[in-house]
């Protein structure tokens, strides 16, 4: 009998015939998404490790394709992210929490983080709350944004945060639509490196890259 551990974990989606129509385009699921045991985390450490890696790759790929920077587990469980309607199989809330928790650890590459203050993390996990999904980590996003500034010749120009993530000028960029809290964190990386400065108060912030 085929075991889930025999299917290799990957960090990028593979071509398969399982698709869903999205606002971004037709999303292609990896082959493991069509394997029923994928939707139940196994107790065997080796098998579980393989599953966690595969789930992390799947979640990152799906969120990237759908331009999702954070998810609410409760809201996401019925969606194709965690539910394969064709198979009538879905990841349970408990297992979804376990996957996101693993993604938030060093072993998981710090590819997720529960939202809210540090003191609220335990509550967020317990309630199946919201989590950032880092298909790019904040420091990686900081570099992407800085590269865009260079590419468009905007160093020394004060940009509103709206212009960075909501304007037509960035509609084709991966960071378009990024939530304000995450954008602030990414820009904070640039500030700490001495590459940018944030101006203004809440709701009217601007940023200038040096």
129 and 142 inside one domain: no
203 and 109 inside one domain: no
pLDDT of 116 higher than 80: no
pLDDT of 203 higher than 80: no
Cα distances from 210 to residues 44, 161, 172, 187, 198, in angstroms, run 51, 16, 23, 12, 11
How many C-beta atoms lie closer than 10 Å to residue 68's C-beta? 17
pLDDT at 23: 47
Determine how β-strand 112-114 pairs with β-strand 130-133: antiparallel
22 and 92 inside one domain: yes
Q: Which of 133, 153, 174 is the last residue of a domain?
A: 133
Residue whose entry in the numeric block shows the structure tokens 């939530």: 179
**Arithmetic mean of pLDDT, 9-21:** 40
Enclosing domain of residue 85? 4-133
28 and 115 inside one domain: yes
Q: Which of 102, 133, 164 is the last residue of a domain?
A: 133
DSSP 203: T
**Arithmetic mean of pLDDT, 49-67:** 97
82 and 168 inside one domain: no
Q: What is the mean pLDDT of the chain?
A: 86
44 and 91 inside one domain: yes
Query: Per-residue DSSP letters for 137-186?
Result: -HHHHHHHHHHHHHHTT-TT-EEEHHHHHTSGGGTTSTTTT--HHHHHHH
144 and 120 inside one domain: no
Q: How many domains does the chain have?
A: 2
Cα dihedral 103→108→109→111 (10° resolution): -10
Q: What gap in Å lies between CA 186 and CA 190, rounded to an integer?
A: 7
């Amino acid at each position: 009998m085929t075991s889930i551990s025999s299917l290799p974990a990957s960090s990028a989606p593979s071509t398969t015939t399982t698709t869903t129509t999205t606002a971004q385009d037709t999303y292609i699921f990896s082959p493991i998404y069509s394997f029923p045991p994928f939707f139940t985390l196994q107790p065997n450490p080796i098998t579980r490790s393989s599953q966690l890696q595969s789930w992390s790759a799947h979640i990152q790929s799906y969120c990237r394709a759908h331009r999702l920077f954070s998810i609410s587990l409760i809201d996401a469980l019925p969606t194709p992210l965690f539910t394969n309607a064709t198979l009538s199989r879905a990841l349970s809330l408990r297992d979804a929490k376990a996957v996101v928790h693993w993604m938030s650890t060093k072993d998981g590459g710090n590819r997720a983080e529960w939202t809210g203050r540090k003191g609220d993390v335990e509550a967020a996990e317990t309630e199946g709350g919201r989590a950032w999904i880092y298909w790019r980590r904040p420091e990686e996003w900081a570099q992407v944004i800085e590269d865009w500034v260079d590419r468009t010749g905007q160093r020394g120009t004060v940009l509103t945060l709206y212009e960075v993530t909501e304007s037509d000028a960035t509609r084709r960029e991966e960071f378009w639509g990024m939530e304000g809290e995450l954008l602030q964190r990414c820009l904070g990386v640039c500030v700490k490196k001495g590459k940018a400065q944030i101006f203004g108060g809440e709701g009217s912030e601007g940023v200038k890259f040096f």
